[in-house]
Amino acid sequence: MGILEVKDVNKRFGGLKALSEVNLSVVENTVHAIIGPNGAGKSTLLNCLVGKLIPDTGSVMFDGQSVLGRKPFEINQMGISRVFQTPEIFGDLTVMENMMIPLFAKRDGVFRLHAIESVESERALRERAEQMLEDVNMLDKRHMHSASMSRGDKRRLEMAMCLVQEPRLLLLDEPTAGMARADTNNTIDLLKQIKASRDITMCIIEHDMHVVFSLADRITVLAQGTPLVEDVPEKIKGHPKVQEAYLGEHA
Amino acid sequence: MFGLGKKDLTLFLIVAVMALFAPFILNPFPTDSGMAQFNAGYPDLMQRFVIFGILAIGFNILFGLTGYLSFGHAAFLGVGSYAAVWMFKLLSMNVIPAILLSMIVSGLFAVVIGYVSLRRSGIYFSILTLAFAQMSYNLAYSVLTPITNGETGLQITLDDPRILGVSATADGGIPVTNLFGLEMRSFETLNIGPWAFQFSVGYYVAAIIMLISFYVAIRIFRSPFGMMLRAIKSNQNRLYYTGLNARPYTLAAFVISGMYAGLAGGLLACMDPLAGAERMQWTASGEVVLMTILGGAGTLIGPVLGAGFIKYFENIFSKINDQVVHAWVSFLPDGLENFVVAIIHPFVGKGWHLTLGLMFMLIVIFLPGGLVEGGQRISRRLRRKPAEDDAKSASTEPAE
């Protein structure tokens, strides 16, 4: 049984059936990609996993526990982190402060009033933040105002913020959307390096086939809200149904 | 030292020195000179400087850090005043229990208002807090008259019980507020040449409490809690997906901020044991917003500066009447003199609001970071840093 089990999930927005009978099983310590043309329901599915949307029917289990009905912050505390399509970081804060917030969240839970302690005194947490920044090659930028960084750096910071919490499942929503080829390749290398250095399960939603085929262990193809096929990348490439639904339009 | 960084410690010491030597600093003109009316070093006004400084410091913890603009902070000021006066009526004229009760009551009040208002953000939050404040104001005038004494305002009288004190002094007068016997209203005058400096007990009590509040505010700004509050202002969405719930943080900030306002209200009552509903009016709430933005929201020293600035205007600028202006421009020929006075007339005296409004507009447009940003620009210019560096750092500072 996988670490993430999605069973018979349906989601309707008015007359539009966004997801119908979606089944998905993500095996622990693998990279699972979800691909599909625009409007296939990829983002809806992801939003059902993180608590932003609640499916009409079906179940979503993470590590044997249901995530349905839990708030996004509770789901994060269970061990699921999410990277957004456009990097969501704390723009008014420095890079280092951006890193400290997930560390405090991991250590203290949803809320703790530590109004009189000094951030400076949290030496152990700072060291972990610095270590993580070094892993993503951003240590030299730690005093920078994060809003003034390039998009690629913001993306790397966001990933570092997610990873420093040591999540068991990392969800990535089009991590290379809008990036130049060189930045895309950097991101692929970074993700490969992350995967190689720790036990982590990743679930990637992606448009860019280059990214998907360089990273994924398994691929699910979604079209019109239903999974068409699920298989290893080699088989997906030549699959006639996929060619028809998706690759055919582009290739 | 005191758990503060070097920069913060310097700032704190500057504020401490300014507060402790205020009777000198604010009295630069000899009493018999024509400029004496610009002296602000009399106890009444100095007390108001530091008390409204406390109010603005507290407001800044909420608005400056989380970006939640409360438009009803005067309600806490009023509640604090009422609580303090009740303590004078029932317990004793000592200010300590009065201040404690005003903080507790306004804190509880803030829990209730915050719990409801913080369900919304942005303009809806502002409107909700405004609604609560107006509700409190109107209730104080009408149905809550037994507690607030309605339009007359709550006062201490000769037949109040005062369990731990006396109902009336030996000579039959109403006892005065004190700190273990030190009367708030008592003061010493120090005459040096033509200068007269007044040192009032009430001012120094208020100033020391202001310094404690300022110190606590610095600690909050530099704490993980303060960082979370800035994160809420910056990106709530990211915070939710980082495993944190913004609500308890904003509520805590709201309550702390409300307690600061209650403390300020309590201190106002300590200096003059009288509480009226007009203290809760929306204009009073608006004044705090102006103070904070004028000084620089989100900065440590800004709100204190803003409070001083507005209170100075309110009390000093408003006293410049036509006669004073005439005296200034008397060297001009008669016709021209009257013309100049007619031009200046709407801006001074009773028209001080117009000048304040214009200054507020100028500061918001040209110095979005308030007086603090003005100070930073001047010091940067003095240090002659390259111009492009100037432009760069100005653009990265968030505008309020």
pLDDT at A145: 92
Closest chain B CA to residue A77: B243
Residue B354 in any domain: the answer is no
CA atoms within 13 A on the CB side of B290: 23
Q: In this model, does residue A44 exceed pLDDT 80?
A: yes
pLDDT (0 to 100) of residue A241 = 76
Number of inter-chain CB pairs under 8 A, A vs B: 108
Residue pLDDT, tens place only, B204-224: 999 999 999 999 999 999 999
Per-chain mean pLDDT for chain A: 88
Output the six-digit token pair for B170.
Answer: 């030996």
> Looking at beta carbons, which residues of chain B come within 8 Å of A164?
none
Domains along chain A with CATH numbers: 4-79+167-250 (3.40.50.300), 90-151 (no CATH)
Task: Please report which confidence band the pLDDT of residue B167 belongs to, taking 50, 70 and 90 as the band edges.
Answer: confident
Alpha-carbon gap, residue B61 to B258, rounded angstroms? 10
Is residue B317 domain-resident?
no
- CB A41, CB A224: distance < 8 Å: yes
Q: What average pLDDT does this structure show over A2-7?
A: 90
Q: Which two structure tokens, joined as six digits, stand for B235? A: 């990106």
Nearest CB to A93; choose among B222, B234, B240: B234
Residue B320 predicted with pLDDT over 50: yes
Number of domains in chain B: 1
Is B365 part of any domain?
no
Mutate one of A70, A88, A173 to test the B interface: name it (highest B CB count within 10 A).
Answer: A88
Interval A101-117: pLDDT, tens: 999 998 888 888 888 88
Percent of chain A with pLDDT over 90: 49
Q: Is the pLDDT of residue B385 over 80?
A: no
Which 8-state DSSP code applies to residue A121?
Answer: G
Query: What is the predicted pLDDT for the residue at A9?
Result: 92
- Residue B320 covered by a domain: no
**Residue from B212, B221, B238, B260 to probe the interface with A (highest A Cβ count within 10 Å):** B238
Query: To 10 degrees, what angle do helices A181-197 and A123-135 make?
Result: 130
As a whole number, mean pLDDT of residues A95-100 equals 94
Q: Please check whether residue B277 lies inside any domain of the structure.
A: yes
pLDDT for the residue B398: 45
**What spatial distance separates the first Cα and last Cα of chain B, rounded to whole Å?**
32
What pLDDT does residue B386 have?
54
Q: Is residue B232 part of a domain?
A: yes
Closest-CA residue in chain A for B247? A111
Instruction: Write the ipTM.
Output: 0.89
Give residues with Cβ within 8 angstroms of B109, minimum separation 6: B75, B76, B79, B258, B262
Residue A3 has pLDDT above 80, yes or no: yes
Any domain includes B368? no
In a domain, B101, yes or no: yes
According to DSSP, the β-strands at A57-62 and A4-13 are antiparallel
End-to-end CA separation in angstroms for chain A:
35
Q: What digits encode the pLDDT tens for the residues B29-81?
A: 888 877 788 888 888 899 999 999 999 999 999 999 999 999 999 999 999 99
CB–CB of A170/A163 below 8 Å? yes
Residues from chain B contacting residue A88 (CB–CB below 8 Å): 235, 237-238, 241
**Which residues, in sequence order, are bridge partners of residue B179?**
B182
Lowest mean pLDDT among A122-131, A236-245, B375-384: A236-245
Q: With 70 as the cut, is the pLDDT of residue B391 above it?
A: no
Domain membership of residue B29 as a residue range:
6-299
Q: What is the DSSP letter of A41?
A: S
Q: Tell me: the pLDDT tens digits for A66-75?
A: 999 899 999 9
CATH of the domain at B38: 1.10.3470
Predicted TM-score (pTM) of the model is 0.91
pLDDT band at A246 (very low <50, low <70, confident <90, very high): low
Confidence class of residue B12 from pLDDT cuts 50, 70 and 90?
A: very high
User: What distance in Å separates the CA atoms of residue A229 and residue B194, rounded to the nearest whole number?
Assistant: 94
Cβ contact, residue pair B248, A50, below 8 Å: no
User: Mean of the pLDDT values across residues A189-207?
Assistant: 90
Please give the Cα distance from B38 to B316 (Å, whole number): 6
Whether residues B222 and A116 touch (CB distance < 8 A) is answered with no
In this complex, do A106 and B5 lie within 8 Å of one another by their Cβ atoms?
no
